[in-house]
């Protein structure tokens, strides 16, 4: 058996094209969707992510102003900027790129974003709405992207056993909540496993769908996967490789070459889950603009 590849890059491109159509329709009615990605400091990875988000916005017809603040920005100054964005009718979505430089308090900052503009889905109000099963709640982009990948390859989680490895508030917990809910493209039996779970391999083999987000390069091997399982690899890890021009390569949390001989479907890294995150963020921005037009 050789697993079929889940082409997240292609699927994300389709979603971004759909977003562009929706943005154009909103613009015809006098509302240009706006997304403010606030970047504090000069973290290289964060700079790359924000540039990618800004480029994606521009391609989709979404207003995306520069929001780069110096590393020595105070808590008070950052809160003031967020409050300005909260009150700006041109801005429908706000995200604060994490991690923030110390000593900024990330928890307080996230609370300052108005829930109706929290397109990242991290505000406690939106988390609560998501957990309660509200289909209109903003859902975190990566978990929403995972569900969308399953939908686009026509793998319905209903009645299946989903094993999620990783319990972060950004991916593991929300995707477990989403896929267990009484909603279309959900209704799964979900096991949430983590670093303290005894015999992760045995638990992994229970999954008809295995979602891995643990941040350990190539941790999941073929013997940890049920034959015929759908494998969603959320991890992105840099490992040294002197044979490459850059001296490193990107790998997921799954040993791709070995696992693809066991699975029925598998996401590559890069090109799997990653592109979906930005696509779903743009979709959330459109949803915000449709709810609260300028």
Asked whether the beta carbons of 200 and 165 are under 8 A apart, the reply is yes
H-helix or E-strand spanning residue 193 = strand 189-193
Q: Rounded to an integer, what distance in angstroms lies between the CA atom of residue 101 and that of residue 215?
A: 21
Asked whether the beta carbons of 185 and 156 are under 8 A apart, the reply is yes
Catalytic residues: 53, 97, 120
Tokens coding 60: 């989709």
């Amino acid at each position: 058996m050789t697993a079929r590849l889940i082409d997240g890059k292609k699927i994300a491109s389709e979603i971004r094209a759909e977003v562009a159509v929706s943005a154009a329709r909103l613009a015809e009615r006098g509302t240009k969707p706006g997304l403010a990605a606030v970047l504090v400091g000069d973290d290289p990875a964060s700079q790359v992510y924000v540039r990618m988000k800004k480029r994606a916005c521009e391609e989709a017809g979404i207003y995306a102003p520069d929001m780069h603040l110096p590393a020595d920005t105070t808590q008070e100054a950052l809160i003031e900027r967020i409050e300005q964005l909260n009150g700006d009718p041109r801005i429908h979505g706000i995200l604060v790129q994490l991690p923030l430089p110390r000593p900024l308090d990330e928890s307080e900052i996230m609370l300052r974003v108005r829930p109706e503009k929290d397109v990242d889905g991290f505000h406690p109000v939106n988390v609560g709405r998501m957990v309660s099963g509200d289909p209109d709640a903003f859902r975190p982009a990566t978990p929403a992207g995972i569900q969308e990948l399953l939908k686009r390859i026509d793998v319905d989680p209903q009645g299946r056993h989903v094993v999620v490895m990783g319990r972060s508030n950004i991916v593991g917990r929300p995707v477990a909540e989403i896929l267990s809910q009484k909603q279309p493209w959900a209704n799964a039996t979900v096991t949430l496993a983590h670093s303290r779970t005894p015999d992760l391999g045995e638990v992994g083999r229970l999954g008809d769908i295995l979602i891995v987000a643990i941040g350990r390069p190539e941790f999941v091997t073929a013997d940890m996967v049920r034959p015929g399982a759908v494998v969603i690899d959320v991890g992105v890890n840099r490992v040294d490789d002197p044979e490459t021009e850059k001296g490193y390569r990107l790998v997921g949390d799954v040993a791709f070459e070995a696992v693809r001989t066991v699975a029925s479907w598998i996401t590559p890294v890069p090109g799997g889950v990653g592109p979906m995150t930005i696509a779903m963020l743009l979709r959330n921005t459109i949803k915000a603009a449709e709810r609260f037009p300028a």
